[in-house]
Chains A and B, each alone.
Chain A
Amino acid sequence: MRIPKAASNPVSDMQRSRTRKNWLLSAPALVVLAAASSGPLLIVLVYSFLSAGEYGGVVWKFSTDAWFNVVFFRDIFDGTTTFADAHMTILWRSVRLSFITTLITLAAGFPTAYFIATRPRRNRSLWLFLITVPFWTNLLIRTFAILEVIRNEGLINIGLQTLGIIDKPIQMLYTDFAIMVGMTYVYLPLMVLPLYASMERLNFSLVEAAYDLYATRHKVLHRIIIPLVKPGIIAGSILVFIPSLGAFVTPRVLGGGKKMMLGNLIELQFGAGRNWPLGAALSVTLLALVMAALLMYVRTTQRHSGSVR
């Protein structure tokens, strides 16, 4: 009885000092995060409760107008309020396109990650390297490359016309489709890498065991592989969905002025719209959306963590 009691103290002391040391190690990162992230966020939150200055900026007068304007639209002339359709359309487009982008990157990234994970070990790093090659080029340039491909006088339309399959160019640029293609292209590596990480850990003798126990290929995928790489699926989905929701460059270039997403709407308020509080309120809305999505993911992971190692 006495011995474990005496022994437990030094152990817990050691643990405590180790915890303290780990905190110290993460201090630089925490300082940077606090200064560069929490500070500006706080400013944005404060701005969303102030009044708009006439030529941009803010007037230090408390107001909830900005938040009101996120959801409602007040007519300048007769003062009637209506539901802010334009904002809701943009919000819905952002969520919808981000969701579809996540699904497409998952559908395309899953077999890719599986392919890499099943290559001989020495070849895998080459494949992973190839996946990261697009990151070498600036995002803007990559997006303009897509534009070159899908515009009316672009590669696809000219090609199809030359082959005589179509006589009029298909309008792809400045549509939701264009934004989706762009985002899928840009965010695909962010899906492949975490998927690969969890597939690489997958014990492939489990796959053999399932085949051995009369499972078809389809059953092996659904009963063994997908449940076991779920952490990777979730991580990849978060990494694609969240930046898609706030995407700015891609919808700007490929969606033109008409097909805006939340990021563009926010930019408009801080720029030409000269309504900083509304921009700030929209930013906080976006942040809340991201948090809600994250929370949902965390809850699903927790429910499955009981079954996934």
Chain B
Amino acid sequence: MVEKQGTGQANTEAPLPAAIYAERVTKAFGEGKKKVLALDDVSLTIEENEFFTLLGPSGCGKTTLLRLIAGFDQPTAGAIMLRDRDISQLPPNQRSVNTVFQDYALFPHMTVAKNISFGLEMLGKPKDYIKKTVGDMLALVKMEELRDRRTDQLSGGQQQRVALARALAPRPQVLLLDEPLSALDYKLRKEMQIELKQLQLETGITFIFVTHDQEEALTMSDRIAVMNAGRILQIGTPRQIYNQPADRFVASFIGRSNFISVEVLSVEGRRARLKLSSGREVISPLPDNWVPRGRVTAVVRPEYAQLVAGSGDEGDLQGVLENIVYLGTDTQYHIRLPDETTFVTRSQNQCQETEAFEDGQSVSVVFKPEAVQVLRS
């Protein structure tokens, strides 16, 4: 009877605590000299109903963190809380957390429907409830016709859907997704990205998504944690991560970046006056309450800089156009600066436009407002 209220019940409750709270989590593998820190003092809060992405190169610790949340491994130090309950030492079958595995890990000896009902059967749900939920889940992932198929008779995309339905069927508090799209081809991956986001909105379940694909992370996430070498470098919305990268690693891992050396002239509040190598000055917003000094590195995204002909005074940087790369939607210009570094700008193509520039031409780069972002390191 209580179960019938379903999601309505959740909405009327007082604000829920964070879905996942990781407090100073460390995970070490091996002993002595061979000891490797897969996670090094990581803390993070993931809110209820959030689509949260752990993004980083392979070996950065993102999958380790996911496995700690799932319960397949235990942290060496620190604690993981699920809605204020310490779950660090609980086995996977006692956590309301389900996983979509990278290789899907569908049970090959069971049909699609049996795979989906497995979790519910293990929880000892009544038969008619299981039957109804399996039906709902099949409808949710649009797999009704294939309910009696064996899983090895399915395509990659279909297996992906079954894995999702199987993990969602027990209505976990948190759903973990371990690079679930990496085995799919480009077009299918694009479709599934939209579908996953839609699914998260429909079910209202907290998703924690692990990927090394920055584009995937930007497309789907509410917030992203960028990881490298067992640490979290930055947590923020896709916009924050892209526009105000915390350091050089984040800036180069996500999107294309131009790194330029600038001199800090003065800092007023959260803005800094910077001197560029050309001698021109620009105003740059500063993240947090950090005060840069002297020579620092700054990042400029290619599309936040515009190319103009000639080496006039109006440009922020001057150089020689070295290469023009036509990409369909836009065109990339590689410019050689006086200090022998290459600067790339990108502009969107218009229809019936002919190329206005040619190789070897002297050009200037004009920065759009707030295009220059000072990096901490």
Contacts and interface: CB of A to CB of B under 8 A. Distances in A.
B93 to A, nearest CB: 5
B108 A214 contact: no
B373 to A, nearest CB: 41
A296 B184 CA distance: 43
B108 A309 contact: yes
A213 interface: yes
Q: State which size class the interface on A falls in.
A: 20 to 34
Interface stretch (A79-87, A156-164, A172-180, A202-210): A202-210
A212 B103 contact: no
Contact of B118 (A213, A228, A308): A213
A22 interface: no
Contacts of B108: 206, 228, 308-309
| Chain A facing B: main interface SS | helix
A215 interface: yes
B98 interface: yes
A215 B93 contact: yes
A227 B106 CA distance: 14
B166 interface: yes
B152 interface: yes
A216 B91 CA distance: 10
Given A212-B70, A214-B123, A206 B93 contact: no
A224 interface: yes
Given A214-B93, A214-B123, A219-B122, A227 B101 contact: no
B109 interface: yes
Contacts of A214: 93-94, 119, 122-123, 170
A215 B122 contact: yes
A228 B103 contact: no
A224 B121 CA distance: 14
A26 B92 CA distance: 50
A212 B119 CA distance: 8
Contacts of B123: 214
Contacts of B97: 212
Contacts of B91: 211
A146 B109 CA distance: 42
Contacts of A209: 99, 101, 105-107
A309 B107 CA distance: 11
A137 interface: no
Contacts of B326: none
A208 B109 contact: no
Nearest to A223: B118
A307 interface: yes
Contacts of B110: 307
B34 to A, nearest CB: 13
Interface string A208-244: 1111111110010001100110000000000000000
**Best-surrounded residue of B70, B103, B108 (most CB of chain A within 10 A):** B108
Contact of A203 (B70, B72, B103, B167): B103
Contacts of A210: 107, 118, 122
Interface string B268-309: 000000000000000000000000000000000000000000
Contact of B109 (A211, A216, A227): A227
Given A307-B109, A308-B109, A309-B108, A211 B101 contact: no
Contact of A224 (B71, B107, B170): B107
B144 to A, nearest CB: 21
Contacts of A219: 122
Contacts of A211: 71-72, 91-93
B152 A213 contact: no
Residue with the highest number of chain B CB atoms closer than 10 Å, among A203, A213, A214, A228: A213
A213 B103 contact: no
Contact of A212 (B99, B106, B150): B99
A209 B164 CA distance: 12
A227 B118 CA distance: 15
Contacts of A224: 107
A181 B152 CA distance: 43
B27 to A, nearest CB: 17
A84 to B, nearest CB: 46
Contacts of B166: 213
Nearest to A309: B108
B101 A205 contact: yes
B98 A213 contact: yes
A239 B103 CA distance: 34
Contacts of B101: 205, 208-209
Nearest to B103: A205
Contacts of A308: 108-109
B197 to A, nearest CB: 23
A209 B167 CA distance: 9
A210 B121 CA distance: 11
Contacts of A208: 72, 92, 99, 101, 105
B36 to A, nearest CB: 15
Interface in A280-309: 307-309
A213 B170 contact: yes
Nearest to A224: B107
Residue of B91, B92, B150 with most chain A CB atoms under a 10 A cut-off: B92
B179 to A, nearest CB: 13
Nearest to A213: B119
Interface string B110-149: 1000000011001100000000000000000000000000
A39 B269 CA distance: 101
Interface string A186-211: 00000000000000000101101111
Please list the 9 inter-chain residue pairs (A to B) with the smallest Cβ-Cβ separation, ordered nearest first: A213-B119, A209-B105, A214-B122, A205-B105, A211-B92, A307-B109, A214-B93, A215-B122, A212-B92
5 contacts: A212-B98, A212-B99, A212-B167, A213-B166, A216-B122
Given A212-B97, A216-B93, 14 more contacts: A203-B105, A208-B101, A208-B105, A209-B99, A210-B107, A210-B122, A211-B92, A214-B94, A214-B122, A214-B123, A215-B118, A228-B108, A307-B150, A309-B109
